[in-house]
Amino acid sequence: MLTDLNAPCPCLSGTSFESCCAPKLMQLAPAETAEQLMRSRYTAFCLGAVDYLIKTLAPERRSVNERRMLERELGQTKWIKLEILDTQAGSATDKTGIVEFNAYFEASGERGCLHERSNFRREGEQWFYVDGEVEVK
């Protein structure tokens, strides 16, 4: 976890980590929108917050090896930059939402871009990542 809460948030929202993703990762406040959940999950990937990634994954999508798979992936990938391209629905009053984004990374000395159109679902006050259409460039 970032120790400097005043540092820019890894999701590149333009605000500090403290006022953006930190409250979500520390489970002090839930994401209010699908985009906020997307940004906080990206930040969790950057910081290695496996528990948060599992907690915000739709329960039916979790596998028995989820933790091990995430830890392996996080150990091999450095996330560099997030670009939100589009959002559809996903507001605080919606039950579903879509966020399209590019996430730039480095793995095995190579740089790449993960392009995804992600589906999110809200149950009560909690947003969950459900699935997405993924293309790695």
Other Cβ atoms within 10 Å of 127 Cβ, number: 30
Q: What is the pLDDT of residues 34-68, one digit of tens each?
A: 999 999 999 999 999 999 999 999 999 999 899 99
Label residue 1 by pLDDT band (50, 70, 90). low
pLDDT at 75: 86
Q: Which domain holds residue 49?
A: 22-136
Domain membership flag for residue 100 = yes
pTM: 0.93
User: Average pLDDT of the chain?
Assistant: 94
Domain membership flag for residue 120 = yes
Domain membership flag for residue 39 = yes
Q: How far apart are CA 4 and CA 1, in angstroms?
A: 9
Domain membership flag for residue 8 = no
Domain membership flag for residue 2 = no
Q: What is the pLDDT of residues 70-87, one digit of tens each?
A: 998 888 999 999 999 999
Other Cβ atoms within 10 Å of 124 Cβ, number: 6
CA proximity to 69, closest of 82, 54, 80: 54
The contacts of residue 18 (CB under 8 Å, 6+ apart) are 5, 6
Domain membership flag for residue 17 = no
Domain membership flag for residue 42 = yes
Label residue 128 by pLDDT band (50, 70, 90). very high
Can you tell me which residue has the tokens 């994954």? 57
- Which CATH number fits the domain that encloses residue 120? 3.10.450.50
pLDDT at 21 over 80: yes
pLDDT at 55: 96
Q: Please tell me the total count of domains within the chain.
A: 1
pLDDT at 3: 64
